[in-house]
Chain A
């Protein structure tokens, strides 16, 4: 079955530091890959997505590249801000509208 393995947290960085949150997956076929973000007290928001190999999703300075050869979808940002403090979830789905399989989530805290 499908599974997503995400970097253990929590992660604490200083403002303007470089961020990487690792995500690897196991799936049949060619899944779509997603990063969702959950700010304190809120629901999940889609941050970015990629639907095929070598696609790069990007949004709000965050990027992730769909690497089929390494089955990875690592999230990166060049310079984090305090407002990026949240929990980040890597997820996948098959055929688009099917159910999402989530990683365990990574709590990110940015200190000024």
Chain B
């Protein structure tokens, strides 16, 4: 299994600002994923982040809005840029190990 720590656990932000979410894993993993869960909705994959390469974004998500860093095999960040109220969601990171994905507790973001 994998233990994933996400920071911050929640935040309230003003529109037009940016927030960087950190994801730390207790073991080295190749693939990390970032998901968004809008209120009352299911999870939607934002991007896949592999160490040493550019993140791969899903349709509807762009790097300018959601830049991702993956500096090593245990850490990644997701930035939500130029936020609007529509960005209010839970953002979760996950890692894949031994054919299973494990999730962090998520970051609950509210944009005013």
- Please report A residues at the B interface, Cβ cutoff 8 Å: 32, 34, 36, 42-46, 49, 51, 89, 93, 96-97, 99-100, 102-105
For A102, the chain B residues whose CB sits under 8 A away are 42-43
- Please report B residues at the A interface, Cβ cutoff 8 Å: 6, 30-31, 33, 41-43, 45, 48, 58, 92, 94, 96, 99-106
The smallest beta-carbon distance between A11 and chain B, in angstroms, is: 15
Interface of B is mostly: strand
The smallest beta-carbon distance between B55 and chain A, in angstroms, is: 12
A105 to B6, CA, bound (A): 23
* Interchain CB contact (< 8 A) of B43 among A49, A89, A96: A89
The smallest beta-carbon distance between B18 and chain A, in angstroms, is: 23
* Interchain CB contact (< 8 A) of A104 among B41, B58, B94, B100: B41
Contact yes or no, A49 B45, CB < 8 A: no
Interchain Cβ contacts under 8 Å between A and B, 13 examples:
A34-B100, A42-B106, A43-B105, A44-B43, A44-B94, A49-B100, A96-B96, A96-B100, A97-B99, A97-B101, A99-B48, A99-B58, A100-B94
